[in-house]
Chains A and B, each alone.
Chain A
C-alpha cells in the first residue's frame, strides 16, 4: 500500500477544504444524485448545457476528503467540454485511479493526475469516482440516485 502523502496530496486537501463550484445551479438542464451507502457520501451534480457542451457544472453534498476534492476538481475540468469529451475524461480518470492506466493517461489528465495515488488504496476508489458516476447519470438523464454499490 502506498504512502499517505500519495493519497492526501496538498492539492486534494486544499480542494476538500475549499471546494470549487460548490453551489446549486438554478434550473439545471441536468441534475443527479450520487450516494455511497458504505460511507454515507452523498452528492448532487448540476449541469447547464450549451447544446452538446457543458456550460456550467456545480455540485453540493457531503463526504470524505477524496470524494469532495474529486467532485471539486471534476467540475473545474469539465467546463466547455462536450459530452463525448467528458465521457472520455472519466474513462481516463477511472483507469488512473484503478491503476489500469497506460502511461500516457496520467499525462492527459492535467491536474486530475493527483488522484493517481488512489490506485494504491483500493477501498477509496469509490470515493474518487462517486462524483463522476453522478455526472454520468446526470448526462444520461437518470432520475434515480446512483449508488456505488
Chain B
C-alpha cells in the first residue's frame, strides 16, 4: 500500500490558486499520513492557511484511500468547486482528476516511490524510487512526520 510522498511548498500551491476560486481540499488518509504530507491534520492546516490568506475553502474531505475511485466519485462535494487541492499521491490525484476533469486539480505532494515500513522502529525506507528521486534510494523517513532520518535504523538491503 505504502508509497513515499514529499510535500509541495505552500507557496507553490498558493500560486496555482486565485482568490475567486471555490476550493475543495481532499486528503487521503493512508500513505500520505505515513509520509506526513496528508491526513486530517495536514488538511486542516492547509485549509486554515488558505483561509487566513483570503482564499475560499468550501470543502474538506478525507478518504481512507483516494486511489479507490468509487469513494471519490460518490463523495458529496459542494456544487461550484473550481479548484481542488489534493493531499494524496499521484494515483490519488488521478482518481480525483477523473471526477473533476474541468477544474484545476492541484497535487500537493510529489510521489517519490514505494517504501517498506517498520512501525516498531518508526520509519519507512524508500525501496523503489521514481526516476526523479533515485538519489533517495535507501533513505529512511520518520513515520507520520516524513522527516528524513540522519542515520538509517533498518538493516534492510537495498538493490541499486
Q: Do A and B belong to a common assembly? A: no
User: What residues of chain A have their CB less than 8 Å away from a CB belonging to chain B?
Assistant: none
